Structure 1
Amino acid sequence: MTPEQQFAFERRERLTAYGQDAEFQALSRQWLQQSMAKKYVYNHDWMGRPIIQYPQDMVGIQELVWRVRPDLIIETGIAHGGSLILSASLLAMLDMTDAIEAGTTIDPRRSARKVIGVDIDIRAHNRAAIEAHPMASRIQMFQGSSVAEETVAQVRAAAQGYGTVMVFLDSMHTHAHVLAELEAYAGLVTPGSYCVVFDTFVDDMPPKFFADRPWDVGDNPKTAVRQWLPAHPEFQVDRDLENQLMVTVAPEGFLRRSAG
């Protein structure tokens, strides 16, 4: 066994153990609950734009993008634009790596790799900041409900011609809405890639934890995923990534499409 193989083996052993460690999992959920109550998730930026994500999930997304090497990332939910900028910067990293490996140069303004963002309300100041950002040339935004027929048709048309596609669902977190998003966009995910459903953790919080929001225990992204998955066996939950992060807003939400 090479040193690299030994390192990978030891990691797999740890992740398996984490998945069976009830105390560690309970502590992780407790920290997530306490930090969510204190709005910790609102504290971070990515390349100058607020990003409403946990650092652990940002790292997890980076690993998925590097592993899958998508040509297109589709995101529902834009807010301040930090997640779009994160995705665009990771795609820029892939382009740079491709150029280095090929011994060529690239014009980042003409990159084929893109991010599509969808939101029902793209506020003017957020749109202006995103469009002024150095990553703007990689980003295309659509305003409208992510599950409206017109919006879905626009996204599907814009997604034509891309080889490897990844999808992030992070808009309205009610069961019905997420289920409709899965039906609308998960089919665009290419074999071996991922559909990441954010905020499935809502089902693990105390009832009425989000008292000012329409989602709750029993009505949230996790319940939608659990209803949707049995009819879509081509997707499986990536438990290894979930166990690796431990603190994540997407338990049971990292859905990998089978490569075959």
Structure 2
Amino acid sequence: MNPIEQFQAEVEQNIARLGADTSLKQASLDWMLQTGAAGAYTYNFSWMGRPIIQYPQDMVAMQELIWAIKPDLIIETGIAHGGSLIMNASLLALLDLCEAQEQGRVLDPRKPARQVLGIDIDIRAHNREAIESHPMAARIQMLQGSSVDPALVAQVKDIASKYQRVLVSLDSNHTHEHVLAELEAYAPLVSVGSYCVVFDTVVEDMPPELCEGRPWGPGNSPLTAAREYLAGHPEFEVDRNIEHKLLITVAREGFLRRVG
């Protein structure tokens, strides 16, 4: 075994050990509930100047997925301040740059090969302006409307049909009904070997008082929707290895890999 393979084997063993440590997983969840749900910890971070409202661990996980999958299109529901759009667009830009260098091509920044498609029911004017004036703007397309509106879904499917490798990220309305409808609409667009990432499955683990005033909560969450969807769609499976590696993640059981 060469040194690179040996290091990777050690990493895999470490991930397995972390995944089997139930007390550590509970401590990680307790920390998340204190810092995130109650303390707005995720508001502290940005990517290339835009608030991203994610845990750094989940940001790293998305980077790893994007590098491994090399998607041509990333579809995101939920835009907020646009940090996730910017991050994913910048990572796609790096993929294009690496491929151009390998092939001896010169990139035309006005015609990026890879794109991010963001969907939100309410793209606020100041956020739209900031995203559209960002250096990554050429790689980003935004659609305003309900992510489960049939007309909008049809528009997204038309856009996705022009790309070979597709990754999906769901992070909008967190009710069971809405997330299940998003899964039915967008998970089929995911290419084999790629992922549909369902964010905020952690809602299922929150004390009910932390969800007060919200239309979602334990028993009515992205996790309950993901479990129902998986029950009828064997072409997807939960990649537990990712959450075992991260420990801190809002997407427990939410990294859905398409295997067929």
TM-score normalised to the size of structure 1? 0.98
| 1:173-212 Cα distance to aligned partner (Å, 9 max, x none) | 0000000000000000000000000000110111231212
The answer (yes or no) to whether the contact 1:92–1:108 under 8 Å persists in 2 is no
1:45 equivalent in structure 2 = 46
| 1:134-165 Cα distance to aligned partner (Å, 9 max, x none) | 11111111000000111101111121210100
2:66 equivalent in structure 1 = 65
| 1:32-84 Cα distance to aligned partner (Å, 9 max, x none) | 01111110011111101111101000000000000000000000000011110
Q: Secondary structure of 1:141's partner?
A: strand
Partner Cα distance (1:240, 1:4) in 2 = 20
Q: Give the partner amino acid of 1:206.
A: P
Q: Give the partner amino acid of 1:71.
A: D
| 1:68-120 Cα distance to aligned partner (Å, 9 max, x none) | 00000000000011110011001001001101111221012201200000000
Q: Give the partner amino acid of 1:220.
A: S
The answer (yes or no) to whether the contact 1:167–1:189 under 8 Å persists in 2 is yes
1:95 equivalent in structure 2 = 96
2:5 equivalent in structure 1 = 5
1:123 aligns with 2:124: yes
Partner Cα distance (2:159, 2:13) in 1 = 42
Partner Cα distance (2:92, 2:208) in 1 = 38
1:197 equivalent in structure 2 = 198
1:104 equivalent in structure 2 = 105
2:31 equivalent in structure 1 = 31
Q: Secondary structure of 2:197's partner?
A: strand
Partner Cα distance (1:154, 1:232) in 2 = 24
Q: Give the partner amino acid of 1:253.
A: G
Q: Secondary structure of 1:226's partner?
A: helix
Q: Secondary structure of 1:168's partner?
A: strand
Q: Give the partner amino acid of 1:8.
A: Q
The answer (yes or no) to whether the contact 1:208–1:216 under 8 Å persists in 2 is no
Partner Cα distance (1:168, 1:98) in 2 = 24
**Structure 2, unaligned stretches of length 5 or more?**
none
Q: Secondary structure of 2:97's partner?
A: helix
The answer (yes or no) to whether the contact 1:208–1:217 under 8 Å persists in 2 is no
TM-score normalised to the size of structure 2? 0.98
Partner Cα distance (1:252, 1:144) in 2 = 27
- Map residues 136-155 of structure 1 onto 2, 5 A cutoff: 136-155=137-156
2:222 equivalent in structure 1 = 221
Q: Which runs of 4+ in 1 moved over 4 A?
A: none
Partner Cα distance (1:147, 1:104) in 2 = 39
Q: Identical aligned pairs, as a percentage? A: 61
Q: Secondary structure of 2:162's partner?
A: coil
Partner Cα distance (1:69, 1:110) in 2 = 18
Q: Give the partner amino acid of 1:200.
A: T
Partner Cα distance (1:60, 1:198) in 2 = 12
Partner Cα distance (2:180, 2:17) in 1 = 32
Number of equivalenced pairs? 259
Q: Secondary structure of 1:236's partner?
A: strand
Q: Give the partner amino acid of 1:39.
A: A
Q: Give the partner amino acid of 1:66.
A: W
Q: Secondary structure of 2:218's partner?
A: coil
Q: Give the partner amino acid of 2:5.
A: Q
Q: Secondary structure of 1:212's partner?
A: coil
The answer (yes or no) to whether the contact 1:198–1:250 under 8 Å persists in 2 is yes
1:21 equivalent in structure 2 = 21
